[in-house]
Amino acid sequence: MALRLRPGRNGGPAGSQPRGGGVKDGDIIEDPYEAASSLAVPVEVPEGLVYVTDAMPGIHRRKRGKGFTYVGPDGTTIERGTERERLERLGVPPAYERVWICPLPNGHLQATGYDQRERKQYRYHPNWSSHRAGTKFDRLVDFGHALPQIRARVARDLRAPPGDPRFALAAAVTLIDRLSLRVGNEEYARENGSYGALTLRNRHVKLRDGQIQLDFKAKSGQRVRRSLKDRRLLQVLEKASDLPGAELLTWVDEDGRAHHLTSTQLNEYLDEADGDDSLAFTAKTFRTWAGTLAAFERLEQGDAPKIKALAEAASQRLHNTPTVAKQAYIHPAVLNLAGQVPELPPPDPLPGLSSAEARLLAFLEAPPVT
């Protein structure tokens, strides 16, 4: 449906939601709010934002001299005004191609594009990013309650023969759960030489005298060197290492061909294992739990650690930087107790959780008032 704009409040059409401006009075465009309202909304969107996808008509850019020309869904050039300023503030890198920009300033997704390696990249509205971060931490309590059931399913599937997809997926979850590894993907392994649970090679793991030794490069060049004793994990890795191929975790089809695991398969497995399709836990949920747990255990040492010490504890567990650990992997309720010596009552033991995990879960369910 096309409409002729007349100015309303906030520079948008009268009766519409707020728009960014920068479109000249009298222009004819497709109504982006009507387009957005027709979409099925698969996620909860915070108040003030509109759910959009890059399949709807959007703003595109064209190279012009040393900069870009921005063209609206109807072919109109956006030359000046607050709308042009919004487009520039998005900071989409000049090298990105096939760039789509949301015509709504309050779209939850603001831009997409493809980098030089043909990977799709996203720019989200700041309020959406904050909402997602809050939702992620809110779901940690659900994850803590689901974790025993996930671990029980994994333990059953580890009894499947090596080469069975169930064994491979359960082994991957075991690596992620016990070592807080990233998932990894084949593109990063091939192009960057960085690895995760699904892409580890046999050469990255040594099994000697009952010990597990890992040595590989993870995301962002972080070197992972771990030496540990873990009887159950050792048994899993010994079985996995007997399979054909250079990859540590594979499954074998009826014709004897080995196949690597994908993140989609792993997430589908976790959906089945947690027993609730609405929870949708991923490997990153394991890492958020592990980072929060590491910071919580540091807090329990009783020396009133500062935020820096909590972030360092999480970063050592996760093999990333303290800044990233603090921003993305430690529950705010734990960070809020930095510099304090909290008195935390002992919780009841919970089957399937370590004592530290049970204490963390009890804390997250009823954090003390600070």
The alpha carbon of 252 is separated from its chain's Cα centroid by a whole number of angstroms, namely: 29
Strands (E), the chain: 2-4, 28-30, 60-64, 67-71, 77-78, 97-101, 109-114, 120-124, 205-208, 211-217, 223-228, 250-252, 258-260
Q: Which CATH class is domain 154-273?
A: alpha beta
Task: Name the residue ranges covered by the structural domains of the chain.
Answer: 2-131, 154-273, 283-365
CB atoms within 10 A of CB 349: 9
Residue of higher predicted confidence among 220 and 27: 220
Lowest mean pLDDT segment, chosen from 124-138, 144-158, 356-370: 124-138
Q: At what angle do helices 283-299 and 140-157 cross, to 10 degrees?
A: 120
Options 3.40.50.880, 3.20.20.70, 2.60.40.10, 3.30.66.10; CATH of 2-131:
3.30.66.10
Structure tokens at 169: 């997926």
Helix, strand, coil proportions of the chain in percent (round to 5)?
A: 40, 15, 40
As a CATH number, domain 283-365 is 1.10.132.120
Q: 96 near 121, Cβ under 8 Å?
A: yes
Residue range 34-64, pLDDT digits in tens: 555 555 555 677 788 888 888 889 999 998 8
Distance of alpha carbon 100 from alpha carbon 53, whole angstroms: 10
Decide which of 172 and 131 is more confident: 172
What's the rounded Cα separation, in Å, for the pair 26 and 264? 47
Q: Are 101 and 110 within 8 A, CB to CB?
A: yes
Q: Would you place residue 83 in the very low, low, confident or very high pLDDT band (cuts 50, 70, 90)? A: confident
DSSP string, 107-148: BSEEEEEE-TT--EEEEE-HHHHHHHHHHHHHTHHHHHHHHH
Q: What local confidence, expressed as pLDDT, does residue 34 receive?
A: 58
Encode pLDDT of 105-122 as tens digits. Answer: 999 899 999 988 787 888
> For residue 195, what pLDDT is reported?
92
DSSP letter, residue 177:
H
Lowest average pLDDT, out of 37-51, 125-139, 290-304, goes to 37-51
User: Length of the chain in residues, anyone?
Assistant: 370
Whether residue 237 contacts residue 258, with contact meaning beta carbons closer than 8 Å, is answered with: no
What pLDDT is recorded for position 52?
A: 87
Q: Higher pLDDT residue, 270 or 134?
A: 270
Could you tell me which residues come within 8 angstroms of residue 324 by beta carbon, excluding any fewer than 6 positions away?
315
Report yes or no: 31 and 3 within 8 Å, Cβ to Cβ. yes
- List the Cα angle 135/138/139 in 5-degree steps: 90
